[in-house]
Structure 1
Amino acid sequence: MEATMEENQENVIPGENSAAKIQERLLKRHQARIEDAERRKEAKESQVVAEEQGEYFSSAFNRERAGIEELLSGCSGADRALVTQRLEEATAKTAQLQKFLNDSMMFLTQYDLRQAQAALQQLQTSLAETREEALPKKKFAFRSRTKAADKVPAPPSSDTPSSDTGTPVDTGSTSVDGMIVSEQCGFSNMDGVSLTKTAEEIQKRDVLLTHLTNCKVRLFGSPSTLHLKHIDSCEILCGPVSSSVFVDHCKNSTLAFPCQQLRTHNTTDTQVYLHVTSRAIIEDCQGVSFAPFSWSYPTLEEDFSVSGLDQGRNNWSQVDDFNWLAAGTPSPNWTVIPEELRKTDWDSDFKRKSHVLSN
């Protein structure tokens, strides 16, 4: 009798353990299903949010674009004063629309981004054409450097080059490839010189550097936009740019600047030391390499404050190549500069060259 009871106990205990294990497995499976359902729910909610953001962007963008187009169409037949007022308003609204696009890039699909950029480009072209038709084109003006130039190291001879060495650009407004560049200043058609602009000269203005060869350029301060076009074998350093930097037809050069957005076209064998708060974009480029912005000067922190850029947000290595759409495969058109090859001493060559020129 006692033996039989012991056998029953031995049979009961394993059964209870087995039931407990089965219950534990069922609980784990149930918990896994709950977690999986939560993940699917979160993914669906994220997708809905992204779709809602995209729909809001499209609606707001098209509404603002229509308003600008209406302003431009109202310039036809109007008197000069009214045309000037409407063009100024359209220019300001176009700049705001560009900023809205820059701020929305993180959640837009690449297709929607390209569509919006094409629409904005067309709008800027229409703005330039309307301005050219309605108002006489302003001519370039020559202006000597201000006394503020003494605040930064710069060769005196580079500030007021003669007509056979180049032209300092300083105009009220002009058009660069269909894009309005207002209150523009900069340098053009120069070879083998060191050039400097002070914060007082470029602060909140649009800066244009074009047709420069073998030049070293230092731009202190915070410009509104920076346009680089037809640059060959140059070193160009700029303080924080509050909105966009546009680079076109640049080769064998070194560039450094913080900005909100970078658009680079037709550029080869160029190094870019970058601080950018959105994502850099390249198109029709080869041999472009990137590293974090590393140039420094005494008033850099103040200029960052003026620009409004977020110093804690730098997407320098996040580059979208519009000629390379193969998902999961890196673009062959750009690379990251290895740390051991990155430039850190920016001013020694510039000072040496400035000294030679001044003598």
Structure 2
Amino acid sequence: MDVPVESGAAKMQERLQKRNQARIDSVERRNEDKESWTVSEEKSEYFSRNFQSEQASIEELLSGCCGAERTIVTQHLEEATTRTTQLQKFLNDSVLFLTQYELRKAQAALQKLQASLEESREEFLPKKKFAFRARAKAADKVQTQAEPAPPVPETVSTEVDGAAVVPEQCGFSNKSNDFITKTAEEIQKQDVLLTHLTNCKVRLFGSPSTLHLKHIDGCEILCGPVASSVFIDHCKNSTLAFPCQQLRTHNTTDTQVYLHVTSRAIIEDCHGVAFAPFTWSYPTLEEDFAVSGLNRERNNWSQVDDFNWLAAGKPSPNWSVIPDEDRRNNWDT
């Protein structure tokens, strides 16, 4: 049976239209891909330019601490801390369009910057503690005239060749199977160091300036609001609870962290770390929050960046959220 000429022509015309539309669609897709790549490249250049500029500005602030008066040093360190936190957020917001090389490079630079910040804080600020210890020692001498002096706590200065030697940080070290505490008066916004503790329960009341935990095994450590950063290194099988501005955790395994943090927590070389909101409470907690300057309403406890995990869109296997039913709400004091 013969096919009508008009019908055959119509089908031919339809096929030509489909091919033409396919070519148009292909061209549009290529143009979109090219445009997307161009936008991504522009974003990358924008990030690199601004990240390096801000990094240099923060390094200049830290350099300005050398030889400066304590007031100036404090201002520089506070500004450097705030800007470093903002730089971390800028990096977090840019992860989606950065290459793995760019991301690793920026993370390494930020890590170095944060280390420099802490080194500057420890180098230029602890000197003020000598005056505090001198006043405390003078007060103790007056007290001994009226009544026997209480036992000397571990953080009070010791005597070497007749001269007072004040530790750079208060805290505890080399203890096992012990229940130990620090009061707000003992801490007085100092840097607190806990190191080489095994199977201990620790309660830190008040507001430390920074908190350093090193070589912790099987411990339960609860701390009041930390004004700046908490640094954890080589911790295992432990339970920790504290509010802070920044958290950096290294070489830590099988540890629960009850956290209030105003920036984003960072882990590196860790696994089996679990997070939940901070739940410890004690009578002067709200006063200590005010002393620390932390934002009570801002808690990014579940916003964790793993420097060993760069797979975009996939959660890191090295940390998790503690299920509601497994979280602790009651603590021994």
TM-score band, normalised by shorter chain: 0.5 to 0.7
With the length of structure 2 as denominator, give the TM-score of the two structures: 0.66
**Structure 2 match to 1:253:** 238
Measured after TM superposition, the shift of residue 307 of structure 1 is 1.3
What one-letter code is carried by the residue in structure 1 that aligns with 2:200?
Answer: C
In the alignment, the residues of structure 2 paired with residue 127 and residue 339 of structure 1 have an alpha-carbon distance, to the nearest angstrom, of 38
The alpha-carbon distance between structure 1 residues 58 and 247, as it changes in their structure 2 partners (threshold 3 A), is same
The alpha-carbon distance between structure 1 residues 103 and 221, as it changes in their structure 2 partners (threshold 3 A), is farther
**1:1-359 alignment, distance < 5 Å:** 58-69=52-63, 72=66, 93-94=76-77, 96-108=79-91, 109=94, 111=103, 112-122=106-116, 168-169=154-155, 184-347=169-332, 350=333
State the secondary structure of the residue aligned to 2:185.
Answer: helix
In the alignment, the residues of structure 1 paired with residue 228 and residue 251 of structure 2 have an alpha-carbon distance, to the nearest angstrom, of 21
The alpha-carbon distance between structure 1 residues 277 and 127, as it changes in their structure 2 partners (threshold 3 A), is closer
The alpha-carbon distance between structure 1 residues 332 and 338, as it changes in their structure 2 partners (threshold 3 A), is same
Contact 1:229 1:250 (8 Å CA) reproduced: yes
What one-letter code is carried by the residue in structure 1 that aligns with 2:195?
Answer: T
The alpha-carbon distance between structure 1 residues 126 and 301, as it changes in their structure 2 partners (threshold 3 A), is closer
Measured after TM superposition, the shift of residue 68 of structure 1 is 3.4
Contact 1:279 1:318 (8 Å CA) reproduced: yes
- Tell me the percent identity: 59
For each residue in 1:98-132, what CA deviation from the matched residue of structure 2 results, as whole angstroms up to 9, or x when unmatched? 3321244222245335422223425655887x88x
The alpha-carbon distance between structure 1 residues 59 and 270, as it changes in their structure 2 partners (threshold 3 A), is same
For each residue in 1:29-56, what CA deviation from the matched residue of structure 2 results, as whole angstroms up to 9, or x when unmatched? xxxxxxxxxxxxxxx9xx98x9879856
In the alignment, the residues of structure 2 paired with residue 51 and residue 256 of structure 1 have an alpha-carbon distance, to the nearest angstrom, of 40
**Structure 1 match to 2:16:** none
In the alignment, the residues of structure 2 paired with residue 215 and residue 190 of structure 1 have an alpha-carbon distance, to the nearest angstrom, of 7
- Corresponding pairs, count: 257
Measured after TM superposition, the shift of residue 188 of structure 1 is 1.0
In the alignment, the residues of structure 1 paired with residue 209 and residue 246 of structure 2 have an alpha-carbon distance, to the nearest angstrom, of 12
Measured after TM superposition, the shift of residue 341 of structure 1 is 0.9
- Structural RMSD (CA): 3.7
What one-letter code is carried by the residue in structure 2 that aligns with 1:216?
Answer: K
In the alignment, the residues of structure 2 paired with residue 123 and residue 316 of structure 1 have an alpha-carbon distance, to the nearest angstrom, of 23
For each residue in 1:214-251, what CA deviation from the matched residue of structure 2 results, as whole angstroms up to 9, or x when unmatched? 11111111111111111111100011111111000001
What one-letter code is carried by the residue in structure 2 that aligns with 1:292?
Answer: P
In the alignment, the residues of structure 2 paired with residue 204 and residue 243 of structure 1 have an alpha-carbon distance, to the nearest angstrom, of 10
Measured after TM superposition, the shift of residue 257 of structure 1 is 0.4
In the alignment, the residues of structure 2 paired with residue 293 and residue 101 of structure 1 have an alpha-carbon distance, to the nearest angstrom, of 24
**Structure 2 match to 1:12:** none
The alpha-carbon distance between structure 1 residues 71 and 198, as it changes in their structure 2 partners (threshold 3 A), is closer
Structure 2: give runs of 5+ residues left out of the alignment: 1-38, 96-102, 141-149, 159-166
Measured after TM superposition, the shift of residue 194 of structure 1 is 0.9
For each residue in 1:130-184, what CA deviation from the matched residue of structure 2 results, as whole angstroms up to 9, or x when unmatched? 88xxx9xx9xx9x99x99xxxxxxxxx9x868xxxxxx34679xxxxxxxxx952
In the alignment, the residues of structure 2 paired with residue 313 and residue 53 of structure 1 have an alpha-carbon distance, to the nearest angstrom, of 26
State the secondary structure of the residue aligned to 2:317.
Answer: coil
274-283 or 194-203, which moves further after superposition? Answer: 194-203
What one-letter code is carried by the residue in structure 1 that aligns with 2:76?
Answer: K
The alpha-carbon distance between structure 1 residues 121 and 171, as it changes in their structure 2 partners (threshold 3 A), is farther
What one-letter code is carried by the residue in structure 2 that aligns with 1:232?
Answer: D
Contact 1:195 1:216 (8 Å CA) reproduced: yes
The alpha-carbon distance between structure 1 residues 292 and 70, as it changes in their structure 2 partners (threshold 3 A), is closer
State the secondary structure of the residue aligned to 1:106.
Answer: helix
State the secondary structure of the residue aligned to 2:289.
Answer: helix
In the alignment, the residues of structure 2 paired with residue 315 and residue 127 of structure 1 have an alpha-carbon distance, to the nearest angstrom, of 24
In the alignment, the residues of structure 2 paired with residue 241 and residue 123 of structure 1 have an alpha-carbon distance, to the nearest angstrom, of 16
Contact 1:195 1:215 (8 Å CA) reproduced: yes
In the alignment, the residues of structure 2 paired with residue 311 and residue 202 of structure 1 have an alpha-carbon distance, to the nearest angstrom, of 21
With the length of structure 1 as denominator, give the TM-score of the two structures: 0.61
